[in-house]
Amino acid sequence: MRITPLCFALALTAAPALVLAQATGKPIRLIVPYAPGGPIDITARVLADGVKNSLGPVLIENRPGGGGNIGVDLIAKATPDGTTIGISAVATHAINPWLFAKMPFDAVKDFAPITQMVRVPNVLVMNVETAQKNGINSVADLIRFARANPAKLDYGSGGSGSAGHLAGEMFKKAAGIYAVHIPYNGGAPAQTALLGGQVHFNFDNLASAAPNIRSGKLRALAVTTAKRSSVLPDIPAVAETLKGFEIDTWWGLVAPAATPASAITRLNQAFVAALNSADAKTRFTALMAEPVPTTPEQFGAFMRAELAKYEPVVKASGATAD
């Protein structure tokens, strides 16, 4: 049967977006708004490999800068044909909209959710020597010490408006204590300061803190997820002492807002299957990351809730990025 150019054009018009991509030989472009080599980039590459049999090649494009805003803006403004997707994260879709005076995109209106990918707990840690010196072995001990020694505690973070900074401010408010925030130029310098006894405690990413926890240099008082982490089940959650306390790092997949529903459905099915695979779970465990596959509707509702949650936290912290 001979297919005329007109018939071919009509067929493409009627086809779902991903069928269009396959017909034109165009691979899926997955924009990662952070530099190569970090946990977000690594998990994106794991999943890209996991969906290649169902979706074809997925090309990773790293576009760091602007706290993630540069890469995410590219996702928002991409052609909504199902061939461009990208990473949304707690920073870009929940914190930055309140941190930056002017955003290049709308965190809700400009995106079609696909699925949440993972969450990584943050962990409340202290230098072991500092903890021993002050008799602090638990969250309750830290709160008691802070109340008995007003304005004598300080905590470090990777910078003003970072997840560690905001977790510290949430903790202070929930516990009714005061501690001075000491911002550093990144999470690694903040952890170095903690190890050197220059600050009393930090809220660090579990993946970053785990090696020093296991070596005995840092004492983990609690994880910040609502429940204990399956990675370190012996460490309690802050919420066991301060009911309702919950803050963690998460990221997921989104597409431009006008991407057809048929394309979103197929992308969701492929990436959820990859997230549920034994290979992904094994590889994510090494990053202290827990796969969280969801429906597009669930992920959309989650991102909206996170955006609302961080508004008062960021405003109360006084942090700005401009």
CATH number at residue 271: 3.40.190.150
Residue 239 DSSP code: G
Domain boundary among 210, 240, 270: 240
What is the reported pLDDT for 25? 63
Count of domains observed in the chain: 2
Q: Are residues 129 and 235 in the same domain?
A: yes
β-pairing verdict for 180-183 and 111-127: unpaired
Q: Are residues 163 and 115 in the same domain?
A: no
Domain boundary among 212, 240, 268: 240
CB atoms under 10 Å from CB of 133, counted, come to: 10
Q: Are residues 198 and 309 in the same domain?
A: no
223 DSSP β-pair partners: 123, 237
What is the reported pLDDT for 5? 47
What is the reported pLDDT for 230? 79
Distance CA 101, CA 269 (A): 37
In a domain, 171, yes or no: yes
In a domain, 253, yes or no: yes
pTM (2 d.p.) = 0.85
In a domain, 303, yes or no: yes
Tokens of 20: 């269009």
Q: Are residues 81 and 132 in the same domain?
A: no
Q: Are residues 222 and 265 in the same domain?
A: no
Q: Are residues 113 and 82 in the same domain?
A: yes
What is the reported pLDDT for 186? 86
In a domain, 322, yes or no: no
Domain boundary among 240, 268, 291: 240
In a domain, 275, yes or no: yes
321 DSSP β-pair partners: none
- Gyration radius from the chain CA atoms: 22
86 DSSP β-pair partners: 31, 254
In a domain, 145, yes or no: yes
Distance CA 225, CA 247 (A): 6
Q: Are residues 235 and 126 in the same domain?
A: yes
Q: What is the CATH number of the domain that holds 221?
A: 3.40.190.10
The residue type of 113 is P
What is the reported pLDDT for 322? 67
Q: Are residues 162 and 231 in the same domain?
A: yes
Distance CA 279, CA 291 (A): 11
Mean pLDDT by groups of 10 residues along the chain of 322 residues: 44 45 72 92 95 96 95 98 97 96 96 96 94 96 95 91 92 95 92 95 90 93 90 91 93 98 98 96 88 97 96 91 76
Enclosing H/E stretch for 47 = helix 39-50
The residue type of 127 is N
Tokens of 165: 């900074």
Enclosing H/E stretch for 255 = strand 248-256
Q: Are residues 22 and 51 in the same domain?
A: yes
Q: Under a CB-based contact definition with an 8 Å cutoff, are residues 168 and 155 in contact?
A: yes
Q: Are residues 106 and 187 in the same domain?
A: no
Q: Are residues 125 and 173 in the same domain?
A: yes
In a domain, 202, yes or no: yes
Residue 35 DSSP code: -
What is the reported pLDDT for 13? 43
Residue 312, domain extent: 5-119+249-317
Q: Are residues 94 and 198 in the same domain?
A: no
What is the reported pLDDT for 3? 43
| 38 burial level (CB within 10 Å; 0-12, 13-18, 19+) | middle
**Residue 157 phi, psi dihedral angles, 5° rounding:** -155, 170
Tokens of 310: 């961080």
Of 116, 119, 120, 167, nearest to 301 (Cα)?
A: 116
Q: Under a CB-based contact definition with an 8 Å cutoff, are residues 284 and 112 in contact?
A: no
What is the reported pLDDT for 100? 95
